[in-house]
Every structure is written in structure tokens, then in C-alpha cells.
Amino acid sequence: MHQTRRRFLILSGAAVSTAILPHAVRSQEKMKIGIIGSGNVGSAIGASWVRAGHEVMFSSRHIEHDQELAASLGGGARAGTPHEAAAFGDVILIAVPYRALPEIGRDLAHLIDGKIVIDACNPFPNRDGEIADWARDKGAGLASAELLPGARIVRAFNAIGAARMGTAYREPGRVGMPIAGDDAEAVAIASDLIRDVGYEPVLIGDLDKGRFLVPGTPLAGEHSAGEIREIAAGLE
């Protein structure tokens, strides 16, 4: 209990320390970001990162779609295979059906090992089958960590709908983004990238708390950062 609380306080301190810095200062360093899964979520988030000046490689099972998307965005956008995106990115966003995570974990293990991975995947039993039931029982954060060994996982973009993700930058900070992670540096870097999309990140705890970052929980939907903190305080 004491170790868990101590780890959460360390992570919270890291989040606070980044929050007190001016956003312009924190965002000076542009990053290479690989996106695995360029559907509604991946394409919306990636487009905002391109807009913010980051270099983004989109990937999926449909390279033609990714090439068209990259061409429409211009700037630092490009397309590649999932292997190429995993190798390219300093940070990786994975936004695929949850049933695809075991394959990604096996095929890309050597490429994502030690890298920050933003896990935007949700386990839906009616879509993903038995692995979704397992992930929900275990908790989506801990389940993703088991399926993606070696990755420095931050769970984010899970409890909020994709429809408005591509326009959140127009009202920066109005909506909060609950996140969970065990790695303080990964949380800090992911937090900056989340702000670049237009959300205010709120660390709710370590990956065990990732079980609350799925649709259907009290954290689901759009809430202000303050509201997320209040909700998170009541979660057990």
C-alpha cells in the first residue's frame, strides 16, 4: 500500500512539474511519432500532431488510405507499414481493435521495447471476443502492459469519443483527458503531446487505474480537468 501510494505521488509530482512550465517552452521539442492504427482515433490525433509541428507516420493494414491521409495533411505527415511506424517513432500511438494487440506485441516487440507507447485501445467483448473479457477482468492498463512487454505505456484517449478529437485544439484545455501510467517520464512526454491535441491531461494513477479508462465508467465522456480529478478521487 505504502509503495503504491509513494509511486503515485512521484508520478503526480512529475505531472505537476510539467504543468507549471509554460506550454510554449514544453512544446519546443518536436517529436517523431509513429501511429499504428489510422482509423477515426489515430487519424484525428495524428492530424493534430502534424498541425502542432510534429513528424507523424501513419500506418495500418491499408497503406493506400495512409498515403492519402498523409498527402492531405502535408507538412511532417508520411505513411508507412506498422513496422516502419514503430521504428520511426520516438513515441508510438497504438489505436487498433484490442484483439490486434497480441500480434503487435509479438511482431513489433523489438521495435517498441523501451519506447513510450500511448495506448488508445479499448477492449469490447462484442468486437474483440475473449481477449476483451480477459482485459476487462485484469484491467485494460495492466493487460496492455502484458501484451506489449517492454513498452513504456501511458493509457490515454480511451474514455472519450473520437468524433471531436480532431477539433479539440480549437479550445485548448477546455476538456480534460484522464490518463494512467507507471513511468514518470513517459507520463510527462505524453502529457505534452496530449496538450498539443487540445486536451488537458489528468493523471489518475498508475496502470492499474487504466481499468477505469474505458467507455462505460464514471470517467467516460467529456469532463473538465477539475471534474476528472473529483471523479478520480472517488474511484477505488
Asked if CATH classification 3.40.50.720 holds for the domain at 2-233, the reply, yes or no, is: yes
pLDDT at res. 157: 97
* Cβ contact 120:148 at 8 Å: no
Which of 16-30, 37-51, 150-164 has the weakest average pLDDT? Answer: 16-30
Of 198, 129, 127, the residue nearest 157 (C-alpha):
198
* Cβ contact 77:46 at 8 Å: yes
* Cβ contact 39:13 at 8 Å: no
Average pLDDT over residues 136-150: 96
Handedness of CA 104, 143, 152, 29 (dihedral sign): positive
pLDDT at res. 75: 86
Summarised one tens digit per residue, pLDDT across range 59-103 is 999 999 999 999 999 989 999 999 999 999 999 999 999 999 999
DSSP 133: H
Helix axes 184-197, 2-19, angle to 10 degrees: 40
pLDDT at res. 55: 97
Summarised one tens digit per residue, pLDDT across range 145-162 is 999 999 999 999 998 888
Residue 44 has pLDDT above 60, yes or no: yes
Provide the pLDDT confidence category of residue 236 given band limits of 50, 70 and 90. Answer: confident
